[in-house]
């Protein structure tokens, strides 16, 4: 394919209790709620978007929190880990902060130019913080909980677990990524010139059990396209190469197409435009339930079906928004 992505757009996962999910990603990890909306395909379920101040592509972690959802199972055919980028010399602070919040953390591990701290969210989703010697120019969201000098800058990478590397590698290189590093059964691919927010690690585990997507697992991984025309051209190339691709779907804040890589993980191509200020101003992002125009006539029924969700005031993180 002749079109290349510039990096990760977002990662979407399944959660259980929405309040517990929001408390963890807002208060413990210090991200911003940039959009409170619903799953457009199942509007009785929230779709919660976390990111930096404006929800720029590459900083976004999103969730479908199905209250009472059974736990999923990590395994081949899915994204099995999501990593966030943090500054150098932040690991000590994060170890103390997460431990104080009751999160079980692993030891800090060093690999090449990176330090990694692993842990899980309340639903068991595998997460890590990665500090790299290469500076990450993205600004953190300053919410008064996590000091800016330690704040999350955005996504660092995702890990895909597969039986065999060849077919998955073929699709990734066709999307413009290149193999940047190999260590044992881990193959790292990077978009563009590499750096935080551009990486995918392919973990080859022949014969390992297949994963089950439910609470605590990743639903899909989205890659960036700058605009709709590029996305359309990319979709055409995928179809011509024999990949089964959805039609273009309007997600209100970006346009999406979905397909599976040969190893089984659901991937998405998402446009950078129009962004999260399409239906509310920057200063008010995430504070009110937003619905697309085709769901507005059902707002009363949708709000009645959704569980209560108390979000912290950005001026006082301990006080819920009324």
Tally Cβ neighbours within 10 Å of residue 33. Answer: 23
Q: What is the pLDDT of residues 108-142, one digit of tens each?
A: 999 888 999 999 999 999 999 999 888 899 999 99
Q: Which tokens is 74 given?
A: 């990590």
Residue-wise pLDDT for 62-86, tens only, equals 999 998 999 999 999 999 999 999 9
Residue 66 lies in a domain: yes
CATH number at residue 300: 3.10.180.10
With bands split at pLDDT 50, 70 and 90, how would you rate the model's confidence at 300?
Answer: very high
Could you report how far apart the first and last alpha carbons of the chain are, in Å? Answer: 50
Structure confidence by residue, pLDDT tens digits, 27-75? 999 999 999 999 999 999 999 999 999 999 999 999 999 989 999 999 9
Instruction: Decide: 38 and 302 in contact? Cβ < 8 Å.
Output: yes
Higher-confidence residue of 322 and 147: namely 147
- The residue whose two tokens read 């590459």 is 58
Helix (H, G, I), strand (E, B) or coil at 174: helix
Domain with 60, as residue range(s), is 7-315
Contacts of 289 by beta carbon, 8 Å cutoff, 6+ apart: 36, 37, 38, 303, 306
**Cβ neighbours of residue 174 under 8 Å, at least 6 residues apart?**
1, 241
Instruction: Enumerate the H helices of the chain as residue ranges.
Output: 18-22, 91-100, 165-174, 228-240, 299-305
- Cis omega (within 30 of 0) on the bond before 164? no
Q: What is the pLDDT of residues 156-177, one digit of tens each?
A: 999 999 999 999 999 999 999 9
- As a whole number, mean pLDDT of residues 270-280 equals 97
- Is pLDDT above 60 for 246? yes
Look at residue 133 in the predicted model and tell me its pLDDT. 82
> What tens digit of pLDDT does each residue of 187-235 get?
999 999 999 999 999 999 999 999 999 999 999 999 999 999 999 999 9
1 — pLDDT class (breaks 50, 70, 90):
low
CB atoms within 10 A of CB 55: 25
Q: What does each C-alpha distance from 169 to 58, 179, 186, 203, 275 come to in angstroms? A: 21, 8, 12, 11, 30
Q: What are phi and psi of 107, to 5 degrees?
A: -70, 155
Angle formed at CA 291 by CA 287 and CA 293, multiple of 5 degrees: 140
Phi then psi for residue 134, to 5 deg, are -75, 120
Q: Flag whether 2 is in a domain.
A: no
Distance CA 307, CA 18 (A): 8
> Other CB atoms closer than 10 Å to residue 310's CB: what's the count?
11
Q: How many domains does the chain have?
A: 1
d(CA 178, CA 172): 8
Asked if pLDDT for residue 311 goes beyond 80, the answer is: yes
User: What's the predicted TM-score (pTM) here?
Assistant: 0.95
Cβ neighbours around 107 below 10 Å, total: 9
Helix (H, G, I), strand (E, B) or coil at 170: helix
pLDDT category of residue 318 using cuts at 50, 70 and 90: very low
322, part of any domain: no
- Nearest-Å Rg of the Cα atoms of the chain is 19
SS3 state of residue 307: coil
Asked if the model's pLDDT at residue 314 lies above 80, the reply is no
Residue 315: the pLDDT is 39
Q: Which of 258, 252, 248 is nearest to 228 (CA)?
A: 248
Count of other CB atoms within 10 angstroms of residue 211: 20
Residue 320 lies in a domain: no
Q: Is residue 129 part of a domain?
A: yes
Q: Is residue 1 part of a domain?
A: no
The answer to whether position 176 is within a domain reads: yes
Whole-number pLDDT of residue 113: 85
Q: Using 50, 70 and 90 to split pLDDT, how confident is the model at 312?
A: confident
Domain for residue 231, yes or no?
Answer: yes
Question: For residue range 86-98, what is the model confidence (pLDDT) as tens digits?
Answer: 999 999 999 999 9
């Amino acid at each position: 394919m002749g079109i290349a992505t510039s990096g990760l757009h977002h990662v979407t996962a399944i959660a259980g209790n929405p309040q517990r999910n929001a408390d963890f990603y807002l208060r413990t990890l210090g991200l911003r709620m940039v959009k409170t909306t619903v799953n457009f395909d199942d509007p009785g379920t929230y779709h919660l978007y976390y990111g930096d101040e404006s929800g720029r592509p590459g900083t976004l972690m999103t969730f479908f929190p199905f209250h009472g959802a059974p736990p999923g199972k990590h395994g081949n055919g899915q994204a099995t880990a999501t990593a966030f980028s943090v500054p150098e010399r932040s690991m000590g602070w994060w170890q103390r902060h997460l431990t104080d919040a009751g999160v079980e953390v692993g030891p800090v591990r060093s690999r090449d130019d990176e330090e990694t701290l692993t842990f899980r969210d309340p639903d068991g989703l595998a997460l890590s913080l990665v500090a790299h010697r290469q500076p990450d120019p993205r600004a953190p969201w300053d919410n008064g909980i996590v000091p800016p000098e330690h704040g999350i800058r955005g996504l660092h990478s995702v890990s895909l677990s597969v039986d065999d590397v060849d077919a998955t590698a073929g699709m990734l290189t066709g999307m413009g990524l290149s193999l940047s590093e190999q260590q044992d059964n881990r193959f790292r691919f990077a978009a563009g010139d590499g750096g935080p927010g551009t990486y995918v690690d392919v973990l080859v585990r022949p014969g390992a059990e297949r994963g089950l997507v439910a609470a605590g697992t990743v639903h899909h991984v989205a890659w960036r396209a700058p605009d709709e025309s590029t996305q359309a051209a990319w979709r055409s190339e995928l179809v011509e190469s024999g990949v089964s691709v959805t039609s273009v779907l309007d997600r209100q804040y970006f346009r999406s197409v979905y397909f599976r890589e040969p190893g089984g993980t659901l991937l998405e191509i998402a446009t950078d435009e129009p962004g999260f200020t399409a239906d509310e101003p920057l200063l008010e992002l995430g504070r009110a339930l937003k619905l697309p125009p085709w769901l507005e006539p059902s707002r009363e029924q949708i709000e009645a079906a959704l569980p209560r969700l108390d979000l912290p005031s950005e001026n006082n993180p301990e006080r819920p928004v009324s």
